[in-house]
Structure 1
């Protein structure tokens, strides 16, 4: 079924390696550190002058706009630094959410707005204090580059340097003599040492400078984003649990409960028929036995939807194989068999969520898609489990509330994962879930 997974081939490049080659990272780190000093000096001059002028003139009211402008300038300089951080830290760019002016706010409210924003003061502190870190890292990186280049290439220009007989070089101090070979050998060896350690030193200086910027410029934003994510996960977990309980209550009420009521009525009727019509009582008891078997079958089906025993006992591949075997349309299963081995078993919460995603997706396919075949693919990708369910149906699936996929999305978010649905009108449809391990 090639049409289903034509879009999936692209996902292999969705997560490229974040670790560049050593030479490339060396130039990235060195450029970051060396460019950091002029930016730090410019930032220091602008912000210190603005801060001193604003504080000094605050009694004349003129200082307030100056101070506000200085904070806005600090924000702009901080944004420049945030653009430079991802190349060194190998992390996505994070920008804090600054306070926004209220609708209809007057000029004075807008002037005071950055002064009431804690992140603006952190930007100002970074813009002033970063020069200290920038000077140290700049000097160290530049010195290492000069030593590496001058030492490793010493053999090229040694002949052009004056060497007097009375001069004491490092080779003589080490007891290797005053020959040209000894002098070139010792100096070149030192240069090679600096050249070998240059990537480590440049990386360390870049990380020191970037970590200082991250702590002040994105630390609070990351914490707020994390809190927001946890709150969303909590809401999604509550919503998923409530939906599951409502569905379970409805299924029990519409199925086993009605059958048990009928079973009780049949048994009562059979007891009354025993004395007057034993044959009729026997037929009624046979009907009750049939009701009992059907009730047990429905209870087993409900238990499979909650936590199927095969998932607990034999793992995710076997549970998905049993699920695919009960499908109303042909289902192609592509599951890593190692996930079912004792050493490859996942966390029970991840297995339950993955099973729920596949089970609910296949149920939606059977009910709404008009598909003739489907594909289920489950693979472990380093730190996450990827679950894909596709069909060749009519498409049009989406995550709006009130639709079957909304419950899947809540369940995935509650587990800390992400759900994506690609379902153009006319099909095909792909549901892709990524669950953290």
Structure 2
């Protein structure tokens, strides 16, 4: 109830204040545009039009500032076009004429005024009707006493008689209060509807391009993060292959050369060397399988995220308490991101945390998967480049997700990641 009253106050204030913004914006915009267009043939209209667009930026900023309180979300600030560095003052001044958002501001001034006028009138009238009917028992008797009951013919009087309740002051008061209650119940809905109509019109015209630019910036960051994560993964795989299977294969080649030399001179020694080579072959195969899990784990593809995370937890050198509350399957990119986030986090726990236990929780929140990884280690985890969590940050950013790390010195450490899954 308190939230409803608070929003009603915000919406009412927005409708009342917007009228005093929309009216001068309309006048400035229409007069400036008409004057600039009419005098454009003698070139005076060009700077007049530019001045009008600059003035509209201020009016648009005033209209945009109130919108977040109504729609309950942030509205991106516009990025107005700027002249190239070193451009003349005249060129910088006339740049507004080629800026799309400046023209949208002008369009907003024209489109918003009818809605602002209607919202202002509805807010005033509905509030007046609500207060007037509910307060009728407080002032109705004054009117009756002043003009006489026989001369007082108002809405409550006619309604009370029509309902068969008589024309007494008590009947009039009951009718007025009942009508007031109905109007009061509808007040938040009506005011909210008018406020949203005006706010969404403003958001569409004053922030649509800014939102598009922000989306482009986000996609560029995601692309850069994906490229960085892929490059880090390739470097890690290259290092692991060089330090592991490659060295074993070189050693295996040398052992097989020894076997060939020993075959005639010392068959028993050759047999022992061959057994050692076979053992090295098995170890090399095991290492290659472990590396392949870091590229594309088959269990993730075949059985899904829950089974893959269970396998990760089983292989962890630190005991893991796993709780997965998610759907059966998701997009490949989503499952892969969550899997590798958990894999890298558990690897960091095993290498750096000095923990005796860890926990992994995965929850489906309809539009995103929320992953929580915690441990009871020494804490002090860092996100900067060169530390274990830097690759994890790139993976989450590449999936357009968000994450936080809480790792005070002395522990515990909690990593919370949100990955979009819609």
TM bucket, shorter chain: 0.7 to 0.9
For 1:280, which of 269, 272, 281 is the aligned residue? 269
Question: Secondary structure, in 3 states, of the residue corresponding to 2:370?
Answer: strand
- Correspondent of 2:35 among 53, 65, 71: 53
1:65 to 2:34 alignment? no
State the distance in 2 between where 1:42 and 1:276 align: 105
Q: Determine the C-alpha separation between the residues in 2 that align with 1:177 and 1:357.
A: 76
Distance 2:359 2:192 in 1: 44
Change in Cα spacing, 1:343 to 1:20, as seen in structure 2 (3 Å) is: farther
SS of 2:125 mapped into structure 1: helix
- Residue number among 215, 218, 229 corresponding to 1:240 in the alignment: 229
- What is aligned with 2:317? 326
Q: 1:171 aligns with which of 154, 160, 171?
A: 160
Deviations 1:217-271 (A, max 9, x none): 0112112222332233234334433432343344334422442454355346436
**1:17-73 C-alpha deviation (Å, 9 max, x unpaired):** xx9711101101111111111111122223333333333443444433332222111
1:363-378 to 2 correspondences below 5 Å: 363=347, 372-373=354-355, 378=361
Q: 1:215 maps to what in 2?
A: 204
Whether the 8 Å CA contact 2:348–2:388 is kept in 1: the answer is: yes
150 and 334 in structure 1: CA distance in 2 versus 1, 3 angstrom threshold:
farther
**How far 1:409 sits from its partner (Å)?**
2.6
Q: Does 1:117 align with 2:99?
A: yes
The Cα of 1:122 is off from its aligned counterpart by: 0.6
Q: Are residues 1:93 and 2:90 paired? A: no
Aligned counterpart for 1:161 among listed residues 118, 138, 143: 143
Deviation at 1:96, TM superposition (A): 1.3
Question: Does the residue aligned with 2:150 lie in a helix, a strand or coil?
Answer: coil
State the 1:417 CA deviation. 1.1
Q: Which of residues 366, 381, 399 is equivalent to 2:384?
A: 399
Q: Give the whole-Å Cα distance in 1 for the aligned partners of 2:410 and 2:37.
A: 65
Residues paired across the two proteins, number:
407
Residue 435 of structure 1: SS of its match in structure 2? Answer: strand
Worse overlay, 303-312 or 89-98: 303-312
Rounded Cα–Cα distance in structure 2 between residues aligned with 1:214 and 1:403: 41
Whole-angstrom CA distance in 2 between matches of 1:136 and 1:365: 61
Residue 354 of structure 1 pairs with residue 345 of structure 2 = no
Unpaired segments of 5 or more residues in structure 1?
Answer: 1-18
Q: Which residue does the alignment assign to 2:108?
A: 126
RMSD: 3.5
